Structure 1
Amino acid sequence: MSEKRFPSPVRVLSPNSSLIVSTAWEAVEYLKKWPSKRGRDYRIARQHCLDALDGLRSPRAAQASFVTAAKTAGLLI
């Protein structure tokens, strides 16, 4: 599996600090430990990031979904 880099890094809150997410893989790992309610935006972001890893979606589209989910959850810095 090749690295699917986001066009620009995304800074999100983590339980003890903040975290910079730069790839679809890092986003999936963060989504596994999602520190907020897992609603519709979360599910879409997770699927889009997994699709990006499989080459079915662009990293830019995965990043957009990830940012939307983080913003909705109040985790975007």
Structure 2
Amino acid sequence: MSDKPFPTPVRVIVKNHQENIITSAWDAVEFLRRWPARRGLTYRRALQHCLDALDGIRSPKKAWTSFVAALREEGMLA
């Protein structure tokens, strides 16, 4: 299993103003596992798509898109 780099890095700001730069599906899974917000449908979809990307089932671009959507929904996209 490789890191599966994202097409572009994602800058995430959490409520305590901590900044994270997510560059791959693996980084996204690690961030999603300590997700500091509501774990609704968009979150669950992002986690599944990132895990699928790591397994080679989905593209890193699709995982990136789902991850960005989850961040945007919770106001964490910088």
TM above 0.5: yes
Q: What count of residue pairs does the alignment treat as equivalent?
A: 77
- Alpha carbon RMSD of aligned pairs, Å? 0.9
Q: Give the Cα separation in 2 of the matches to 1:31 and 1:3.
A: 15
Q: Give the Cα separation in 1 of the matches to 2:10 and 2:49.
A: 16
What TM-score, normalized to structure 2? Answer: 0.94
Q: Which runs of 5+ in 2 are unaligned?
A: none
Identity of aligned residues (%): 55
Write the letter of the residue equivalent to 2:9.
Answer: P
Moved more, 6-15 or 18-27: 6-15
In the TM superposition, 1:16-55 aligns within 5 A as: 16-55=17-56
Q: Give the Cα separation in 1 of the matches to 2:2 and 2:26.
A: 10
Tell me how far 1:41 sits from its aligned partner. 0.3
Q: Which runs of 5+ in 1 are unaligned?
A: none
What TM-score, normalized to structure 1? Answer: 0.96
Tell me how far 1:17 sits from its aligned partner. 1.1
Runs of 4+ aligned residues of structure 1 deviating over 4 Å after TM superposition are none
Tell me how far 1:16 sits from its aligned partner. 4.9
